[in-house]
Amino acid sequence: SKSHLHHFRVWRGDDEKGEIVDYPVEVNEGEVVLDIIHRLQATEANDLAVRWNCKAGKCGSCSAEINGRPSLLCMTRMNTFAEDEPVTVTPLRTFPVIRDLVTDVSFNYTKAREIPSFTPPEGLEPGEYRMQQVDVERSQEFRKCIECYLCQNTCHVVRDHEENKEAFAGPRYLMRMAELDMHPLDAHPNRAVEAQEEHGLGFCNITKCCTEVCPEHIKITDNALIPMKERAVDKKYDPLVWLGSKIFKR
């Protein structure tokens, strides 16, 4: 039908305490879950906290869990649920809750800062960078990342294991290391082994849950993590391969 009352259940509270609150709410044709959250703010739950910006799947702000599935609120259409199927919206589970649906995602900023940035070869000025189209294309996919952190939230290595957070950069930042490792002009030595030994690549047992939730459909596991694992092993156990890779980069 064009409009109906839907059973919504939304987590209300902070990091100390909270509960799931039931709301009957109007749903119209063509709406997404974020529309319904906004309707709740405008009606029964004026103080409901939610983070969003673009409503177009591009800013990565509206990440949450819908019926337990990590998703973007703005890209989840209401017509994917039956009219009598309750829709439960909860905050990302891996990060501390600030209030209601808003989590503190600073774990990700910390991890981003820990990765050595792009390191151009000595003596090459920015205007002199030249790359082959094929090398540009190889990492194009990874640059589609909108930093929604759904992959970081989903990976089982940290999802229920606070103790692993210190040692594990998470799929998004391991992918960033893989992107730089593939960059023909990057002179930072041995990124793959560094990812393995210092950023927790070894924790990843390629379950691909990260890939499944990525709204940009980036093949995180197949195209970034697995190839980097292979290069880490090659380089570590074969000093000639490692030396060769350094020489070819110059």
Task: Give the interface with ligand F3S as residue ranges (CB under 6 A).
Answer: 155, 157, 171, 204-210, 221, 225
Residue 85 C-beta: closest distance to ligand FES, Å: 22
Q: Judge whether 45 and 10 are in contact, CB under 8 Å.
A: yes
Residue from 5, 20, 42, 54 touching ligand FES (CB under 6 A): that is 54
Tell me: does residue 148 bind ligand SF4 (CB under 6 A): yes
Tell me: does residue 149 bind ligand SF4 (CB under 6 A): yes
CA–CA distance, 240 with 1 (Å, rounded to integer): 67
Tell me: does residue 145 bind ligand SF4 (CB under 6 A): yes
Residue from 8, 23, 52, 95 touching ligand FES (CB under 6 A): that is 52
In the complex with ligand SF4, the residue whose CB is nearer, 32 or 175, is 175
Residue 178 C-beta: closest distance to ligand SF4, Å: 11
Contact footprint for ligand SF4 (CB under 6 A): 145-151, 172, 213-216, 218, 220
